[in-house]
Amino acid sequence: MTVRSALLAALLLWPVVSAGAASLPELPPMAPVENWQPIFVEPAPIPIGSSVGVPSRPVAVPAGLSATLTAPRSVAGRVPLSLKVTNASAAAVQLGAARDNDQNCAVAPLVRVLRVGTREVVYPVAGEPRLCAQDFRTDSAGVGEAVTYTRDLDLAPGEYMIEGWFAGSVNDAAVKISAQPVRVTVR
């Protein structure tokens, strides 16, 4: 019996001993535990309509909202991206977005970069999530107005297709507004 298992047995039997038990049963020897794995428990879902606000699944994009992704066709160095979310609806909207752990902690635009001629995903790199601050950005877009989100990407020289979208909330309803992909040559 190892010291660790002896201490565990003593701790588990302590109430029995302190209650004045006359004899304690002999415990079988325990093998040491190696390569243990933590147990992760999924949090309970928050019901839609609760005070927290954003439902877990994106809903249909509200009529009148669109996104446009722009980038230079050819660039040397970092690739500047701009995503404009335009409100052509009849009422003002409130946009909200959080930092994304899989996107180098960017708020928006969220992107996927593919090498031209293949389906190889260059960004985001699988298995490299970050732990980001849980900042939440909110913006208002009045009738006919737009909100612009910008970020830069570091890409190796080559030809790429960049897909972009806004993922967050519009008036407290979860949405994903996709834009047309853009082609970029990095020199």
pLDDT digits 0-9 by tens, 146-166: 999 999 999 999 999 999 999
Half-sphere exposure of 148 (CA within 13 A, CB side): 8
Reference 83, options 102, 57, 101, 103; nearest CA is: 103
Note whether residue 73 is domain-resident: yes
Note whether residue 162 is domain-resident: yes
Note whether residue 123 is domain-resident: yes
Q: What is the CATH number of the domain that holds 158?
A: 2.60.40.2360
What whole-number distance in Å separates Cα of residue 107 and Cα of residue 67?
15
pLDDT digits (tens, 9 = 90+) for 78-121: 999 999 999 999 999 999 999 998 898 999 999 999 999 988 99
Q: How many domains does the chain have?
A: 1
Note whether residue 155 is domain-resident: yes
Q: Nearest 5°: CA angle at 152, between 120 and 55?
A: 75
CA dihedral 178, 98, 106, 57 (to 10 degrees): -40
The boundaries of the domain holding residue 174 are 65-186
Which tokens go with 99? 């930092």
The reported pTM is 0.67
Note whether residue 113 is domain-resident: yes
**Three-state secondary-structure class, residue 172:** coil
- pLDDT band at 125, cuts 50/70/90? confident
What whole-number distance in Å separates Cα of residue 159 and Cα of residue 184?
6
Note whether residue 24 is domain-resident: no
